[in-house]
Every structure is written in structure tokens, then in C-alpha cells.
Structure 1
Amino acid sequence: MDRVNVLASKSALVIFTKSTCFMCHSIKALFFDFGASPAVYEVDSNVELECALRRLGSNIAFPAVFVGSKYLGSTKEVISQHIDGTLKQKLIEAKAIWL
């Protein structure tokens, strides 16, 4: 768990992904469209990191997105906040994007 927190705090926007996850690719593309440069960590071959992420919630899904060192959620939460307009503001506040 400490490793996840350390990695999540190294950048304003951090995405933990799996290479075979099509939603991971879509969420990364969404953030790139905002002009963000997320730190992306693929957990395919890192069992320790995947287990630590799963401890965040009983059924954590990928991608696992952190904004400003805080766990934002997965695809559902990211898309919901994008639709309601709060995602962009969170990215600005975390200095992941600039106006």
C-alpha cells in the first residue's frame, strides 16, 4: 500500500493500468485530450502493486486513477465527473492541467 501512495504522490495525475484493458486506453486518451501528461504504471507483471491497489477497495477496477495524490476511482467515476464538469476542475486544482 505504501508503494501505491508513493507512486500516486509523485505526479499530479497517476493512472494504474493493465495493457489488455480497453477502458484503460480510453481513460488515458481522455486525459491526453485535456492536455494532461499522466504518470502511467502498468501492473500486468507487478503482482505486489496490483494487490496493493486491490486493498484500496474490495473490488477495485482498472484503470485506477489518482488526482492530486487522492484516489479518484475507475472508469465509472472518471466518466461521471467528466460529464458533470467536476473532473476538469479537479485536474486544474491538482495542477495536472493549466488553462
Structure 2
Amino acid sequence: MAANIGSYGSSGFGYYEFPKPSTVVMAYTGHSAYTKEDSPTFVAVGENDGIASPVLMKNRANALNAAGVDVEFHKYPNIGHSFGLGIGTPADGWMDAAVQF
């Protein structure tokens, strides 16, 4: 949902029109569509995620980057789907990195 809102805004969900987000923090997505007007995007995924493919997420990040969208991609080793805050895992600190982005 976050990736879709970053591309098309909130009106695509049939609700009120809100401004597009200034940044998207994208985790666990298979969303592949994008626009040149996408919000800057921070991507976080575990390398062993069997639900949200790290390869598809990397491909989307590369496509966004090629379109001129600011992107930061992070793939965390030895983690599957849903690493939460990442505390005590290789993803520890991912939220701080997202905020810095």
C-alpha cells in the first residue's frame, strides 16, 4: 500500500485526496508499478523473504532510480519476512536508517 500511495496518491483507494507522501518507506512489497513522480523511497527487505521477493523489490528500486527517483535499498542477510524493529537481527537499526533517509 505504501508503494502504491507513493506512486499514485491516496485517491486510488477511493478516499479523500491527500498530498503524496514526501518519502515512502517500503518493506515487504511485490508492487512493481512506478512513475517518474514517485516519492523518494527507502526499501528494506530480508534476503530470505519468501513472500515479498527481494529480487522484485531490487528491480523496482533500480527502475525508480533509473527514472530519477531518489532510492535507498537495503537487503538484510539471514532474515525472512517480517523482521519488525529488527532488534537483535542483522536488520537492527533499519528504522534509524529510514529516518535518516
**Fold shared by both chains (TM-score > 0.5):** no
Normalised by the size of structure 2, how large is the TM-score? 0.30
Larger radius of gyration: 2
Normalised by the size of structure 1, how large is the TM-score? 0.30
Question: Relative contact order: is structure 1 or structure 2 higher (C-alpha 8 Å, sep ≥ 6)?
Answer: 1
Q: More helix by proportion, 1 or 2? A: 1
